[in-house]
């Protein structure tokens, strides 16, 4: 029987992280995936790329202006003057102190102005798309508990919406991922969808305690923390819905490994009534206590 390798988490801890998988033999399309990569990168890195490209392009045109000459008002053989003339041309500022005076310089200015317009249009589109991209502010409890609910052993975890708006038709799906061996002795890693007592919330605004009843038909029936760890089991949760403010689809995902399951515990109560208002204490959202 083949020994199963140690698998990384199916869901990275941070939602923006890449899966912990090294892909070999795939074809890389740098230019066609450039827009996708810029949307996924962080804001500081994106601004750093834009600043670097801006400086490099202006430096290249400054070198071209220095080579061909023909810039009225620029000091002879002055690279700084050519660089700042390039900046004025690309930004269409045109202070008037320096201007092209030869046909070749005019042609180079025309090309730089065109590149500047295209660059501004592309940068504006990328920045707006990244800024306007809908992202969820859904948080999951750091641990899941296995306790009794409605008279049955059940797996419970909590979800909360940190924004003060509604997520319409929020749908949660729970999967069990574990190592298994086929009848032919082949080691595989299989996904099993686990039924939930309620998987759809028409209006998700506050918190939601999701639970899976562990009955005789459940894939978790008879499992312990040790048996789940041996099978490298992972509970993967996905949530999709429509942001009522943006009218856009949002999604979130989380996972629990065996060490993040608490047997015989329950979540602490985070609801309270004060001054006629219902209050939620999210600072205790992840806390549990013995049954």
Whether residue 175 is found in the same domain as residue 240: yes
Q: Residue 182 has which token pair?
A: 């086929």
Q: State the residue range of the domain holding 78.
A: 34-132
Give residue for tokens 């020994």.
3
Cα 165 to Cα 193: distance, rounded to the nearest angstrom: 29
pLDDT at 13: 62
- Give how far the C-alpha of residue 35 lies from the chain's centroid of Cα atoms, to the nearest Å: 15
* 95, 184: one domain: no
Among 99, 132, 165, give the residue marking a domain's end. Answer: 132
pLDDT mean over 134-144? 90
Around Cβ 256, how many Cβ atoms within 10 Å? 24
pLDDT of 265-284, one tens digit each? 999 998 887 777 888 888 89
What tokens appear for 67 in the block? Answer: 């080579």
Number of C-alpha atoms within 13 angstroms, CB side, residue 230? 6
Residue 192 lies in a domain: yes
By C-alpha distance, which of 173, 265, 279, 189 is closest to 232? 189
- On the CB side of 280, CA atoms within 13 Å amount to 13
Question: Which pLDDT score, from 0 to 100, does residue 145 have?
Answer: 95
Q: Which of 245, 243, 235, 241 shows the shortest CA–CA distance to 171?
A: 241
Final residue belonging to a domain, choices 109, 132, 155: 132
On whether residue 258 sits in a domain, the answer given is yes
Q: What is the pLDDT of residues 9-38, one digit of tens each?
A: 777 665 455 556 666 777 766 667 788 888
Looking at the structure, do residues 122 and 231 belong to the same domain, yes or no?
no
Q: Are residues 126 and 143 in the same domain?
A: no
Residues 114 and 185 in one domain: no
pTM over 0.95: no
Q: What is the CATH number of the domain that holds 253?
A: 2.60.40.1400
Please give the share of the chain, as a percent, with pLDDT higher than 90: 59
């Amino acid at each position: 029987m083949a020994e199963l390798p140690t698998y990384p988490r199916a869901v990275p801890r941070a939602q923006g992280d890449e899966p912990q998988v090294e892909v070999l033999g795939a074809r890389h399309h740098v230019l066609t995936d450039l827009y996708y990569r810029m949307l996924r990168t962080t804001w500081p890195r994106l601004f750093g790329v834009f600043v670097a490209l801006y400086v490099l392009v202006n430096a290249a045109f400054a070198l071209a202006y220095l080579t061909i000459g023909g810039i009225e008002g620029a000091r002879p053989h002055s690279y700084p003057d050519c660089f700042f003339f390039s900046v004025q041309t690309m930004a269409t500022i045109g202070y008037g102190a320096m201007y092209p005076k030869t046909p070749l310089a005019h042609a180079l200015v025309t090309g730089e102005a065109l590149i500047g317009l295209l660059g501004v249009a592309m940068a504006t589109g990328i920045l707006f798309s990244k800024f306007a991209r809908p992202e969820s502010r859904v948080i999951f409890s750091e641990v899941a508990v296995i306790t009794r609910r409605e008279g049955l052993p059940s797996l419970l975890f909590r979800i909360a919406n940190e924004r003060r708006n509604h997520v319409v038709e929020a749908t949660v799906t729970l999967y069990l991922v574990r190592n298994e061996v086929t009848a032919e002795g082949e080691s595989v890693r299989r996904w099993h969808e686990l039924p939930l007592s309620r998987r759809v919330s028409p209006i998700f605004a506050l918190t939601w305690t999701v639970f899976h009843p562990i009955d005789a038909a459940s894939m978790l029936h008879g499992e312990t923390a040790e048996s789940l760890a041996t099978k490298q089991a992972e509970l993967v949760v996905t949530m999709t819905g429509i942001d009522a403010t943006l009218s856009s689809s949002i999604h979130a995902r989380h996972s629990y490994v065996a060490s993040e399951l608490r047997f015989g515990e329950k979540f602490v109560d985070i609801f309270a009534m004060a001054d006629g208002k219902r209050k939620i204490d999210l600072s205790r959202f992840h806390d549990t206590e013995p049954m």
